[in-house]
Amino acid sequence: MGIKTALPKIELYMYTAAVSLALLWAGSWIIEASSDFEWVMWFTTFRNHILFALSGHVIFAKICSMLSPKNRSLIYMVYGSLAVLITMGWTYISLVLSHCIILYSVALVKRKWLCFVAGLTSLATFKMEPFNTWQEGFATGSFDLQDVLFYGGCGFSIMRCISFALENCEKKDGNYSFLDLIKYNFYLPFFFFGPVMTFDRFHEQANNPNLTRKEREMWNITIHAVVHLGAILVVDVFFHFLYILTIPGDLKLLKQVSDWSLAGLAYSNLVYDWVKAAVMFGVINTVSRLDHLDPPQPPKCITMLYVFAETYVYDYIGENHEAIFKELLATICTFAVTTLWLGPCEIVYIWSFFNCFGLNFELWVAKLFSLPPFSTIERNLMSEAMSRRIRGLFNAVNFWQIILYNVLALNSLDFAQLVAKRLLLKGFPLSTLSVLFVTYCGVQLIKERERKQALLDDPEPVPPPEAGKQKAE
């Protein structure tokens, strides 16, 4: 590649990196009086640390990967290890490596159930005494970010080790090396805060020497970075003008507001949580996309009606999520892991139980209406439009179940109880039915758009063999 050809690409690369990292700087000056600890931690407390570490990663990784694209995964590991070493000390590195060595040894046995047990046991040691206190002693020094970095780095390291162990079980010829695990674990953008990119995808993409990009890919990365800046501004408006996180803590004030205001407040809190997660994912994902990786997508907003999926436990046990017993077992195991990750306590137990119940209840209702006489009535007496309307009504009810389940974790049990009482008991029937009607209209709009998009993607679906045979006859 000639110098004249390379320079514009380098300039565009650095420009995109500057835009993505400037989001953190902009957000840090915008968000100063927020009541959300996690948001403040990212865009105020962590501002200089994240800017310094990720800027160094972007510049160092790009230069070295241009010089030696075949060894770029090794370069990422070296920089990430040095950054963690300087930040947390050699004893912390030793603790993380000890967990990696133990779980790598288990991975060599190639038993998935044993990999799960060993990984979850390692994770449980950070939630149980005296193991937790003993391991905390490996984090030397004392600074404001120590606890967050300690638990984040260790927790995500264990989850990555579980992913590595499960993929090693699938490998038919031999085993992956311990160096492969270290390269995977010490990729700095994912180390402390995730997301967990599965080992098979990371190993394939990070070791791909072909660093060509798709058409307009750099432009798309820049657009996504600008969108994240817009999301930060939206969250800032929510904080400083709508007080969506402060009001739920004032029960006296909430008792005076209307049912509509209470419903809107509950919905706004849930949407805010998804937007916050999307922004935090987006900042890290922008950096990883600059490294020619395809990271996991951020969580979908609740408005798009997406449900929890794409996890090893949930998809591995539940398979196609159509068998009642397998779905029950999959959701129980999934939320058991989630409870262990979040830290067992009363509010987490309640949140996990209701979410587990909600996922299974959806399947039970679907199975019930697939049996006669319901299936016969739908097939013979209802038009497609009427069938979609009835399904939209059930989706609207399920939509508010999701809101009430998650408000438990986002705010408090008292706020969730107040919302439920006002909308289901005191506000019945006017408030209840009017809120459900507005939700139903939103659901129908979304589902109709999805239906039309599906028709555009596949305008003439191929009929199944039996249908084709009947037509021929």
Residues 196 and 308 in one domain: no
Per-residue confidence (pLDDT) for residue 94, from 0 to 100: 94
Distance CA 83, CA 54 (A): 10
User: Nearest-CA neighbor of 295 among 287, 303, 307?
Assistant: 287
Residues 6+ apart with CB under 8 A from 287: 17, 20, 21, 54, 57, 58, 189
**Domain of 146, in residue numbers:** 45-207
Does one domain contain both 312 and 438?
yes
Last residue of a domain, one of 162, 179, 207: 207
CA distance 429 to 447: 26
Q: Which of 177, 207, 237 is the last residue of a domain?
A: 207
Could you tell me the pLDDT band of residue 95, with boundaries at 50, 70 and 90?
very high
Last residue of a domain, one of 159, 186, 207: 207
* Cα dihedral value 192, 198, 199, 202, nearest 10: -80
Mean pLDDT throughout 381-388?
A: 82
275 in a structural domain: no
Nearest to 265 by CA among 444, 395, 412: 412
Assess if residue 8 is contained within a domain: no
Q: Is 439 within a domain?
A: yes
319 and 184 in a common domain: no
Residue 333: the pLDDT is 83
Task: Give the Cα separation of 247 and 470 in Å (integer).
Answer: 62
Q: Is residue 452 part of a domain?
A: yes
188 and 328 in a single domain? The answer is no
Of 119-128, 272-281, 456-465, which one has max mean pLDDT? 119-128
Inside any domain, residue 237? no
Query: Is residue 116 domain-resident?
Result: yes
| 87 and 201 together in one domain | yes
Q: Would you say residue 384 lies in a domain?
A: yes
Which of 94-98, 105-109, 189-193, 449-453 has the weakest average pLDDT? 449-453
Q: Could you tell me if 196 and 333 lie in one domain?
A: no
Cβ atoms of residues 127 and 344 within 8 Å:
yes
Which of 271, 327, 331 has the alpha carbon at shortest distance from 299? 271
Of the candidates 153, 101, 146, which has an alpha carbon nearest to the alpha carbon of residue 126? 153
Residue 25, pLDDT > 70, answer: no
- For residues 199 and 309, state if they share a domain: no
Show the tokens assigned to 268: 């706004």
CA distance 246 to 13: 40
Per-residue confidence (pLDDT) for residue 20, from 0 to 100:
53
